[in-house]
Chains A and B, each alone.
Chain A
């Protein structure tokens, strides 16, 4: 069931919101350091799959295994702790805390993990430098451009040295140039740090930054490379 050597694997996930099934037997796996694009039309259940994989929501049935541990057997607190320590997140928009400066935003996951402020901000600055947004450190998210903001978000996702980054339409609100740059920096940083990326997108050009793609259609994930 679980592909050999996979870091995070889901099998036969089902999730229903009210009467509408969002996931209807979806399976998925990602290896360490692998970038996997999850594609599919709107409403196909991509985001639900991502939320299940990240342990944000629990599926109605099915198994999710992360590094040998069964996610659905964990308590809410345990899953929260896992998200703090092992996962990073990038969303489409509205993810930076508007009152915190950019560097404080990047340092936030580290600080939630108990790292001291000074140390956390030092690490944050290093990541911001890597994502070429070090000059936004003292600014509020409202004062930086969309592309910079998204790169700050990527820096934040990477800052706590996660094993998996979940990116949900990370370039959705950006123009193609900025979007490409964000993808380039995200995948480059992830590959060099051996971080797996689960990338939800409906844009083929964004998905092209992945190593592999999975299509979700009607709540079922089709891993073409494995299926065909």
Chain B
């Protein structure tokens, strides 16, 4: 209302000549407030600085968040710029050979749980196209690497990686060719790569098509993350604006004594808040600009950002600039409504009735209802998800929790009676004013509840994925696929895997296809099935084979699939000839022995079901096959150090382009872990912010009670007694806040999991965050203690 006054007043002021006009008075009062904030002596400065630094921290976080869209845009722009130019709808289509074309193969590998993206490239002509960030096309056995990879290769203890990438480093990839500063990327040159050996010919770089829209799940996640991290920041800013409020109220009372009216005091307070907030904006901008320089070192979810990528969205930037001072003024005015500033002192308006529950419950309930009605989405939902509805729902739930907290704290604390002296002091203190504590803690509640909900969602997704793939990491931990190799090479590869250190079992098979010979019409498909060649031991992993001797052959039916079984029988006719081929070279004619038993297939460790013809190595000499695909499923002795890297090195030696998968979902686990870490780090930062604001109010409160503390010391009150009371005073609201957060977070998490058709896999994810909450209590207490002990001196008794 005061703000409206300031806008409408000048016109009205001109009509009425009597001084001072309302507009002038408003301006004068605001100016007076600013002067108090800026020139209120040491005390005033400390208060203003506290507010400004608090607001600044919040603003810096907001600016960071508002930079995320630009950062992602830049990242995906660089990503697109280095993707190959598609020449047709099919990604497999090879570009025509020219002077500039390049054959390349993706040789991405994993090292110590980090992904190293790589390409092996061979120029067709004299002027090969180069990906962005690369100045020179690498010659054979040379490579250009990203700075992070260069560092990793140079670091001691990484011999296995150097062995895997045995190329000479001749160049560094510039930032323009990297998604993020920490990315591990290399481009290596080759003089043997051909399309026949797995290469893919490209004409140039730069994918001009629009990027894929964010998948709906990701939208939900993004919205949730924003809400979870930004709501507490907003709460924190609102708390920071109130720093030193008591002292200010007393000063305003002194102003009332010399004649300022109530409106005037409100405007002066608004002016003070405004000054603090504007100063906070500047400090926040400073924090942001300085912090941006170090952001490259931070890596969350494999994502780090170049400082130049972090540019706030202009619209959001303007919004922050306007909203923060406005919030500051509004919060101040609202806070002052509960205080009557009289000329002779400050009267806090007694709350004649307790806080009401029903409307506080309304909000989270409404939020859950919105989420419920938004419906369920999953990876296959193509109908656009309305992220705004989800955002609304989540915001309602989380803010609702924050609103629920003051009621809960009041309700609980008012029931507390007796107990030991420190407990009594703390609970009584909370009973007389639980508002400040609840406000600060509501930030904790939102952060923790949101983080729990998100983690539950991720955990559910992760667990679900594991269940669905049917992979069995106890049977094999790695699987390698290599296409288009000769049968001879394939058998050699399997032998090499067997010889690798730490490998226990290799379920190595060579696959080709077999079809019924004959001449077919154009629209007729020859009955075809697969041929799998391996040892008896291998074949037993793939089918339910009883007796097996080298030289045996089997016809394998997929279990429970009659149609496919018939199709298999049409291709694999016992006692008849089949043609075995792989798309390259001349097919091999081979007779399926008439005594081959028919057995049922079985899932391999990858979760795939195998069927068709299975032959032991004695029946078909794999090395005579014209072309084949190797599948090597490898079980290792996990106790051998770096066993994974040894196996991967073998794979790279056999074929740098081999697709190599880790079965025990290490990668997904890691990604999940990084999400979890990210959320926990984010939530912890928020907790730290809240801890800072709790600490400030705690210290303020202690200073206000200097005299009382001295009196208690005079009585012989022990330090420990008062220290415990300070601890309880923080602990009680935080514990209640965490309880609300855990309950609310679990509820919201279950709802979100339901929305994406997943079931909750882990109900205990809140433990680390509650641990962080406990840490917060200890931190605030520990940092208050020196001040408490300093104040517990008899100086406060001296009145003279």
Task: Give Cα A134–Cα B718 distance, bound, in whole angstroms.
Answer: 28
| A86-105 vs B, Cβ < 8 Å mask (1 yes, 0 no) | 01010110110111110010
Q: How far is the CB of A77 from chain B (nearest CB, A)?
A: 8
Contact across chains for A100 and B425 when beta carbons are under 8 A apart: yes
Nearest A residue (CB) for B713? A56
Q: How far is the CB of A93 from chain B (nearest CB, A)?
A: 8
Contact across chains for A54 and B714 when beta carbons are under 8 A apart: yes
Contact across chains for A51 and B715 when beta carbons are under 8 A apart: no
Task: Give Cα A204–Cα B721 distance, bound, in whole angstroms.
Answer: 39
Task: Give Cα A219–Cα B721 distance, bound, in whole angstroms.
Answer: 35
Contact across chains for B716 and A112 when beta carbons are under 8 A apart: yes
Task: Give Cα A112–Cα B420 distance, bound, in whole angstroms.
Answer: 9
Contact across chains for B711 and A112 when beta carbons are under 8 A apart: no
Nearest A residue (CB) for B419? A117
Q: With A100-B424, A104-B424 in contact, is A47–B800 under 8 Å at CB?
A: yes
Interface residues of B (CB under 8 A from A): 418-421, 424-425, 428-429, 431-432, 707-708, 711-718, 721, 794, 797-800
Contact across chains for B715 and A42 when beta carbons are under 8 A apart: no
Q: How far is the CB of B78 from chain A (nearest CB, A)?
A: 60
Task: Give Cα A117–Cα B708 distance, bound, in whole angstroms.
Answer: 22
Nearest A residue (CB) for B710? A56
* Chain A residues, Cβ within 8 Å of B712: 97
Q: With A91-B797, A100-B425 in contact, is A84–B711 under 8 Å at CB?
A: no
Q: With A43-B800, A97-B708 in contact, is A108–B794 under 8 Å at CB?
A: no
Contact across chains for B797 and A47 when beta carbons are under 8 A apart: yes
Whether A14 is near chain B, meaning CB under 8 Å from some CB there, is no
Contact across chains for B428 and A83 when beta carbons are under 8 A apart: no
Q: With A99-B429, A112-B421 in contact, is A92–B715 under 8 Å at CB?
A: no
Task: Give Cα A98–Cα B718 distance, bound, in whole angstroms.
Answer: 19
Nearest A residue (CB) for B712? A97
Contact across chains for A104 and B428 when beta carbons are under 8 A apart: yes
Contact across chains for B715 and A91 when beta carbons are under 8 A apart: no
Known: A82-B716, A84-B716, A94-B711. 6 other contacts (CB 8 A): A47-B799, A51-B797, A54-B714, A87-B716, A109-B716, A111-B421
Whether A208 is near chain B, meaning CB under 8 Å from some CB there, is no
Task: Give Cα A47–Cα B798 distance, bound, in whole angstroms.
Answer: 7
Can you show 7 pairs from A to B with CB atoms below 8 A apart? A56-B794, A80-B716, A91-B714, A94-B707, A100-B425, A112-B715, A112-B721
Q: Which 10 A-B pairs have the closest CB atoms?
A: A83-B716, A84-B716, A99-B428, A80-B716, A56-B794, A99-B432, A95-B711, A94-B707, A99-B429, A89-B714
Task: Give Cα A87–Cα B714 distance, bound, in whole angstroms.
Answer: 9
Q: How far is the CB of A21 from chain B (nearest CB, A)?
A: 14
In the complex, which of the residues A42, A82, A95 has the most CB atoms of chain B within 10 Å of its own CB atom? A95
* Chain A residues, Cβ within 8 Å of B798: 47-48
Nearest B residue (CB) for A113? B716
Residues of A in contact (CB 8 Å), total 37
Nearest B residue (CB) for A87? B716
Q: How far is the CB of A60 from chain B (nearest CB, A)?
A: 15
Q: How far is the CB of B408 from chain A (nearest CB, A)?
A: 20
Task: Give Cα A77–Cα B716 distance, bound, in whole angstroms.
Answer: 9
Q: Main SS of the interface on chain A?
A: mixed
Contact across chains for B799 and A92 when beta carbons are under 8 A apart: yes
Q: With A111-B421, A112-B716 in contact, is A91–B431 under 8 Å at CB?
A: no
Whether A140 is near chain B, meaning CB under 8 Å from some CB there, is yes
Nearest B residue (CB) for A118? B418
Task: Name the one of A43, A48, A89, A117 contacting B418, with C-beta atoms under 8 angstroms.
Answer: A117
Q: How far is the CB of B443 from chain A (nearest CB, A)?
A: 24
Whether A81 is near chain B, meaning CB under 8 Å from some CB there, is yes
Nearest B residue (CB) for A156? B715
Q: How far is the CB of A158 from chain B (nearest CB, A)?
A: 13
Whether A213 is near chain B, meaning CB under 8 Å from some CB there, is no
Q: How far is the CB of B430 from chain A (nearest CB, A)?
A: 8
Task: Give Cα A140–Cα B419 distance, bound, in whole angstroms.
Answer: 18
Q: How far is the CB of B420 from chain A (nearest CB, A)?
A: 8
Task: Give Cα A84–Cα B721 distance, bound, in whole angstroms.
Answer: 13
Contact across chains for B794 and A57 when beta carbons are under 8 A apart: yes
* Chain A residues, Cβ within 8 Å of B432: 98-99, 140
Nearest B residue (CB) for A77? B718
* Chain A residues, Cβ within 8 Å of B421: 108, 111-112
Contact across chains for A83 and B715 when beta carbons are under 8 A apart: yes
* Chain B residues, Cβ within 8 Å of A169: 799
Q: How far is the CB of B534 from chain A (nearest CB, A)?
A: 79
Contact across chains for B714 and A83 when beta carbons are under 8 A apart: yes
* Chain B residues, Cβ within 8 Å of A57: 794
Nearest B residue (CB) for A82? B716
Whether A168 is near chain B, meaning CB under 8 Å from some CB there, is yes
Nearest B residue (CB) for A92? B799
Q: How far is the CB of B274 from chain A (nearest CB, A)?
A: 32
Contact across chains for A95 and B708 when beta carbons are under 8 A apart: yes
Task: Name the one of B708, B718, B799, B800 contacting A112, with C-beta atoms under 8 angstroms.
Answer: B718
Q: How far is the CB of B342 from chain A (nearest CB, A)?
A: 15
* Chain B residues, Cβ within 8 Å of A95: 708, 711
* Chain B residues, Cβ within 8 Å of A85: 716
Task: Give Cα A166–Cα B716 distance, bound, in whole angstroms.
Answer: 13
Task: Give Cα A87–Cα B721 distance, bound, in whole angstroms.
Answer: 19
Task: Give Cα A79–Cα B716 distance, bound, in whole angstroms.
Answer: 8
Task: Give Cα A140–Cα B716 distance, bound, in whole angstroms.
Answer: 22
Task: Give Cα A168–Cα B710 distance, bound, in whole angstroms.
Answer: 13
Task: Give Cα A42–Cα B799 distance, bound, in whole angstroms.
Answer: 10
Task: Give Cα A169–Cα B420 distance, bound, in whole angstroms.
Answer: 31
Contact across chains for B418 and A80 when beta carbons are under 8 A apart: no
Task: Give Cα A76–Cα B717 distance, bound, in whole angstroms.
Answer: 11
* Chain A residues, Cβ within 8 Å of B418: 117
Contact across chains for B715 and A97 when beta carbons are under 8 A apart: no
Contact across chains for A97 and B797 when beta carbons are under 8 A apart: no
Task: Give Cα A98–Cα B428 distance, bound, in whole angstroms.
Answer: 9
